[in-house]
Structure 1
């Protein structure tokens, strides 16, 4: 049995609905389908989720909501009309549902935002099930509540509750094609709660793990996962296989094909994932697996992200001071700040974090606290940092991987601000200035991939 998830671009229009239906019909093992809200139909289009956010903001501000409701519903009507569906009853139900959610949560902004955003996936799943029945399939819409997707009660940051998996297991005994909306679940007290970014990917992964699927297919708008962002490097190498750990590192570092949190359920259940293209389903795609043969290619990929800063702290004999690092990180915890990396030396320590966490007075307050409470010799914050991750499980057993990177940077005349490598040796992190990050990624790609035969 396969669980197949279709992203926003795959369900954005009537034409895309037909492609999804063809994919489902072409393989009887595709029995559980998870869908996103309609995405962009063309480059300047607006995603339905963004339209719903605009609707929520209008309701919160007490503005007239009807124009926003009509704009949202029009997207579903266009899909239904293009599929020659008689869906007027369904779209009227959609309108009534949106108004009911607004009336119910008007005075609770977080709940209202979650409920309206989730309706994008929910209504699209209902429309997809209707279309599949229209073309003769035994298809059924299944709400996350009925499926048993129970989550923590944290608006915008739902986490799966362990008891959900027992309920989800029952789905595999149901007949026909089951269509489940992605992106959200229900708290124990009955509230709609959305997952964080990549929420539909998370739903698909949870359902695949819950039913014990043989394969989890993630359909998107690219033939495969590339070893580097194709907007930086022209025609980069396509990956046939990548491991869960490699994908996790690359997703964290900026890969947008598959969000890192979405991998956890299938990783624990050891369910292979295949990333495929809705617009070219015959392409083999990329497999995400537990192990791969990395003898010929120890490095799997290169990812980069911007918007970081570094808090650099120096103190003579820091290494002799018991608890220094804990105290420093505790100050950040007190201020509600998460960090990414902590490279250190004997008398200095750096904390890499997202720069937007230091907005307003928070930067001055943190600097003052570190200076006063830890009695440091020097502290300064460096902004405009980009992080580049070189990822590959084969690096641990390959000689000269780090040397290739530093040589590539030197040849490109790029200064390395910092280097960090975890004990697992699955990835190496390099910090560079944001203005040279693309140049740095190209240099690394040339060093690791350009002389390799293409797959």
Structure 2
């Protein structure tokens, strides 16, 4: 049995959904299908999820919702008409949206979730209806009925362990199960959405639950590349990589697969294959538990911006018991998580995602560190990028870090931070955002160009 997830571009139009149907029809083991909300059909187009957010904003502001609602319905109506479906499925989608708009707005966050989730939910209804219309035995599965149980607020949205047991029943169904991605329900019946890329997470959970032989994640690229093709010309294709390598690259900016999506598949030892809906015959990239890393120690290079650094200096910090705990408590009080903490004996830096900060939070943090921890110097600096080298073979390769730092030195850029985890699967360089692109290109040239020559 295979679980297949189709992203937003794969279900953006009737033409794309027909490709999805061909892929499902070509392999009878593709029994569980997870779909995203319709994405962009062309440059400048709007994703259905964005249309739904605008609709939710209008409803919460008590403004006229007819215009935003019509935009959403027109997208689904166009797809349904081009697929040759009757008006019945469009009427079902219209009724669903009306019901959601009438839901309680007492908790805006839950209302947003309710509206955003309709993108995936109605996409699944549409795909299921089309598959049935061409003679494939397909059935839409509501996540509430299927048993996708998630954590309650204020906890971060994650599937609870009982979800795997509940969803395992899907393997016994005789029909093709079409399951909407991105959301689940709490034990109290409240709808909550996963983080960005949540449909990837749904697909991975289902693959783990049914013990799939393979989890196929269909997108709009043939494979995973060793670097961003928008930055590096013709980057190397990655045929095979490990779960840990993919997760590290996803964390650092690879948009192909959400970094959180791999964990359920990894725990259940389900291999993952990244494939292209527009070119399904391409082998794609296999993500497995172990691979031969002798040919190339570095699998990929990634970069992500939007980081800030909280720099704290205090003489004899290393001898002050509890200093780190107190510092992290200040961040916790502001509901801020951290990414890295490189340190010296008298100073440390806490790397944060900038989107978690506001000017008010920044000022409170700096003031509290000065006043409560009596730091000699406190600074919060933004506009950093993290450039990450990833590869299972790096820890067995002598001089790799030296090669990387020399490559960065050739660009004339300064390294603000270096961090390497104990697993040595990744090597992270903190740099100024303005230097990100030239560093990425130079590192790619250092570790990949000689092999490709």
Shared fold (TM-score greater than 0.5)?
Answer: yes
Structure 1 residue 355 displacement after superposition = 2.4
Alignment match, 1:5: 5
TM-score norm. by structure 2 comes to 0.98
CA distance in 2, matches of 1:114, 1:356: 20
Structure 1 residue 155 displacement after superposition = 7.9
Alignment match, 2:195: 196
Whether contact under 8 Å (2:384, 2:431) holds in the other structure is yes
CA distance in 2, matches of 1:280, 1:316: 59
Whether contact under 8 Å (1:216, 1:274) holds in the other structure is yes
Name the CA shift for 1:156/1:325 in 2 (closer, same or farther; >3 Å): closer
Aligned to 1:125, what secondary structure does the other structure show?
A: helix
Alignment match, 2:370: 371
Whether contact under 8 Å (1:114, 1:156) holds in the other structure is no
Structure 1 residue 382 displacement after superposition = 2.3
Structure 1 residue 23 displacement after superposition = 0.3
Alignment match, 1:270: 269
Alignment match, 1:59: 59
Output aligned runs, 1:278-357, within 5 Å: 278-357=277-356
Per-residue Cα deviation, 1:92-142 (whole angstroms, up to 9, x for no partner): 121121111111223332222111111111111111111111111111111
Name the CA shift for 1:84/1:358 in 2 (closer, same or farther; >3 Å): closer
Alignment match, 2:423: 424
Alignment match, 2:48: 48
Alignment match, 2:446: 447
Per-residue Cα deviation, 1:217-245 (whole angstroms, up to 9, x for no partner): 00000000011111110110110011111
Per-residue Cα deviation, 1:423-451 (whole angstroms, up to 9, x for no partner): 11111110111111000000100011111
Aligned to 1:56, what secondary structure does the other structure show?
A: helix
Name the CA shift for 1:155/1:120 in 2 (closer, same or farther; >3 Å): farther
Whether contact under 8 Å (2:310, 2:380) holds in the other structure is yes
Whether contact under 8 Å (1:342, 1:350) holds in the other structure is yes
CA distance in 1, matches of 2:331, 2:79: 48
Alignment match, 1:358: 357
Per-residue Cα deviation, 1:5-54 (whole angstroms, up to 9, x for no partner): 00000000010011000000111110100001100000110000111111
Structure 1 residue 146 displacement after superposition = 1.8
Per-residue Cα deviation, 1:172-204 (whole angstroms, up to 9, x for no partner): 111021111111111111122111111100110
Whether contact under 8 Å (2:3, 2:33) holds in the other structure is yes
CA distance in 2, matches of 1:450, 1:154: 48
Output aligned runs, 1:131-142, within 5 Å: 131-142=130-141
Q: Structure 2, unaligned stretches of length 5 or more? A: none
Per-residue Cα deviation, 1:126-170 (whole angstroms, up to 9, x for no partner): 111111111111111111112111111238942101111111111
CA distance in 2, matches of 1:379, 1:432: 19
CA distance in 2, matches of 1:156, 1:285: 35
Per-residue Cα deviation, 1:302-338 (whole angstroms, up to 9, x for no partner): 1111121211111222211112211211111122221
Aligned to 2:450, what secondary structure does the other structure show?
A: coil
Whether contact under 8 Å (2:120, 2:182) holds in the other structure is yes
CA distance in 2, matches of 1:431, 1:154: 33
Structure 1 residue 381 displacement after superposition = 2.3
Aligned to 1:20, what secondary structure does the other structure show?
A: helix
CA distance in 2, matches of 1:219, 1:415: 39
Whether contact under 8 Å (2:167, 2:209) holds in the other structure is yes
Aligned to 1:342, what secondary structure does the other structure show?
A: coil
Whether contact under 8 Å (2:204, 2:261) holds in the other structure is yes
What's the Cα RMSD here? Answer: 1.3
Alignment match, 2:85: 85
Structure 1 residue 453 displacement after superposition = 3.0
Which deviates the most, 133-142 or 96-105? Answer: 96-105
Alignment match, 2:227: 228
Which deviates the most, 238-247 or 313-322? Answer: 313-322
TM-score norm. by structure 1 comes to 0.97
CA distance in 1, matches of 2:321, 2:57: 49
Per-residue Cα deviation, 1:362-385 (whole angstroms, up to 9, x for no partner): 222211211121222222222221
Whether contact under 8 Å (1:409, 1:443) holds in the other structure is yes
Output aligned runs, 1:157-196, within 5 Å: 157-196=156-195
Aligned residues: 453
Name the CA shift for 1:71/1:47 in 2 (closer, same or farther; >3 Å): same
Which deviates the most, 228-237 or 376-385? Answer: 376-385
Aligned to 1:284, what secondary structure does the other structure show?
A: coil
Output aligned runs, 1:96-111, within 5 Å: 96-111=95-110
